[in-house]
Amino acid sequence: MGDYFGYWLKIGRMADPAKLPRLFYVNWFRKDADGRFVWPGFGENMRVLKWIIQRLSGDAEAVPTPIGNLPAPGSLDLAGLDLSQADLDLLLTVDTRAWKAEAEQIPAFFRTFGPQLPGRLWELQQDLADRLG
């Protein structure tokens, strides 16, 4: 797997950055303190996909966070959606404690690949840990 990761990193370095795909992480299954799914899902997922398309075309704003960019206030189409401000705030909040716990598990996973794991992945993991504080 380490060689496989290295292959794709090499392809990425050789490519025109403007032609590389953009990656977006979406958690459709965020739960509140009571264990209730916060985002309604199903057809409402199109609202997030719409934001992604608008981001790609430069028509939607984002807020930088330690894990990437999140929709800026007012940039996600919520018209007609029954979503409280508290739920929206939860959805657009980065739980740094949870992310730190996840990030702390990455080195053990990386070590399973041995010396074939590209150093760049170690650098990216350290960058994530630094951003999370």
Q: What is the CATH number of the domain that holds 89?
A: 3.90.228.20
CA–CA gap between residue 123 and residue 9 (Å, rounded): 13
Q: What is the pLDDT along the chain (133 residues), one digit of tens a residue?
A: 999 999 999 999 999 999 999 999 998 999 999 999 999 999 999 999 999 999 999 999 999 999 999 999 999 999 999 999 999 999 999 999 999 999 999 999 999 999 999 999 999 999 999 999 9
Domain that holds residue 113: 2-132
CA–CA gap between residue 76 and residue 29 (Å, rounded): 18
Q: Tell me which residue has tokens 């990761």.
A: 5
Looking at the structure of the chain, the number of domains it has is 1
Question: For 70-99, b where at least 16 C-beta lie within 10 A, e where not — what string?
Answer: bbeeebbbeeeeeeeeebbebbeeeeeeeb
| Two tokens, residue 43 | 């057809």
